[in-house]
Amino acid sequence: MSSTPGTDPDLTRKERREQAREQRRAIEAAHQAGAQRRRLLQLGGVIGVVAVIIVIILLSTGGSGGGAPKLKPTQTGYSVPHAAEVQARFAGIPQQGIELGSPKAPVTMQEFVDLQCPFCRQYTLGVFPTLVNKYVRTGKLRMEFHNFYIIGPDSLKASKMAEAAGQQNLLWNFADLFYNNQQTENSGYVTDAFLSQIAGGVRGLNVSKALSERFSPAIEGKVNNDNQLARVYGSQFANLPVPGFNGTPSFLLYKSGTTPQLFSPTSLTEPSVFETAINKLMKG
């Protein structure tokens, strides 16, 4: 028998052609299978390398919460991240101590917050700017800042500095800038150096004055009062379907001059939830 395809005289011409074609197909299939194996190997290799790289990234960036990037010592004054943005936000809006906005505004919102609290940060970054632009700047809403320090001793430290800034009528600027640069809670980042850096990013704030005045008895009394008030509200609202004042941020939203009412927003990142409530109060 001849081994060369297509030369076996026992087969018809047609059958010889068929045989040749079969053999070509078989070789073709073997090539394809080989190529496919190679591709799968390459794919496996790529997946492996990508997985390793991702794990490396994961491990090298882990450890911190969703806070802001660490402040570098060189970032002072206006190079504190978001300093210019914060400055612009409050420019031209009246500020007096803990109050923001026109004293005659028909609606009042009190916030009870912890400067270390990531949810207060979420609210300040996601909702607060809209409220300031749409309602405070236009004289419809006035706000009050109250301390409700629950996370740790650093919270109290930050509160006192905020109150000291309030004595220079820049509390809101300070708090906003603080939130924009907030780090992982209770990680010990609220050092005097950090507070100085943030304060330094608030234009017009006398940093050394604030640093020394934050330990005054007046401020001590103020922050303690706020905290006590928060706990009173906490017991008052404890038995509601959605308990109020059992964490931060907590809000009171009401027509100015009337009894403060609890406001429990369903979202801290969606401004419309707040806007609806404010609009309702403005109409009624």
Partner 1 sequence: MIGLTLLGTGVATYLTIAHYSGTTTICPLHGGCETVQHSTYSELAGVPVALIGLIGYILILGVLLMAVGETTRLILVVLTLGGWGFSAYLTYRELFSIHAICPWCVSSAIIMTFLACLAVWRFLRGEDAPVEALPQEAGEPGGATSSPPSAPRPLPGA
- Which region, judged by CB under 8 A, interacts with partner 1, from 82-90, 143-151, 154-162, 224-232? 82-90
- The end-to-end CA distance of the chain, in Å, is 105
Strand partners for 143: 100, 109
Counted residue by residue, the chain has a size of 284
Q: H or E stretch including 40?
A: helix 13-61
Contact pick of 2, 12, 15, 21 for partner 1 (by CB under 8 A): 21
In angstroms, what is the minimal distance from the CB of 51 to partner 1? 7
| Number of shown-chain residues binding partner 1 (CB under 8 A) | 48
Contacts of 231 (CB under 8 A, 6+ apart): 245
In the bound state with partner 1, the residue whose beta carbon lies nearer, of 36 and 191, is: 36
Query: H/E/C letters for each residue in 127-161?
Result: CHHHHHHHHHCCCCEEEEEEECCCCCHHHHHHHHH
* Choice from 2, 25, 77, 276 touching partner 1 (CB under 8 A): 25
The alpha carbon of residue 91 and the mean position of all alpha carbons in its chain are separated, in whole angstroms, by 23
Cβ distance to partner 1 smaller for residue 212 or 269: 269
Q: Is 32 in the site for partner 1 (CB under 8 A)?
A: yes
**Positions in 46-75 near partner 1 (CB under 8 A):** 46-47, 50-51, 53-54, 57-58, 61, 64-70
Chosen residue from 2, 186, 212, 267 binding partner 1 by CB under 8 A: 267
Give the position of tokens 């801290």.
268
Considering only CA atoms, which of 185, 144, 168 is closest in space to residue 219?
168
Binding to partner 1 by residue 91, rule CB under 8 A? no
Piece in contact with partner 1 (CB under 8 A), picked from 139-147, 157-165, 203-211, 264-272: 264-272
Dihedral through CA 262, CA 266, CA 270, CA 274, nearest 10? -30
Say how far apart CA 134 and CA 106 lie, in whole Å.
14
Which stretches of 68-191 are DSSP H helices? 83-90, 118-126, 128-131, 153-166, 171-180
Enumerate residues 93-132 that contact partner 1 by CB under 8 A: 118, 121-122, 125-126, 129
Counting contacts by CB under 8 A, is residue 42 touching partner 1?
yes
**Radius of gyration (Cα) for the chain, nearest Å?**
33
CB of 69 to partner 1, least distance (A): 5
Residue 30 as a binder of partner 1 (CB under 8 A): the answer is no
Of the pair 168, 197, the CB lying nearest partner 1 is at 197
- Which residues contact partner 1 (rule: CB under 8 A)? 4-6, 17, 20-21, 23-25, 27-28, 31-32, 35-36, 39-40, 42-43, 46-47, 50-51, 53-54, 57-58, 61, 64-70, 82, 84-85, 118, 121-122, 125-126, 129, 180, 267, 269-270
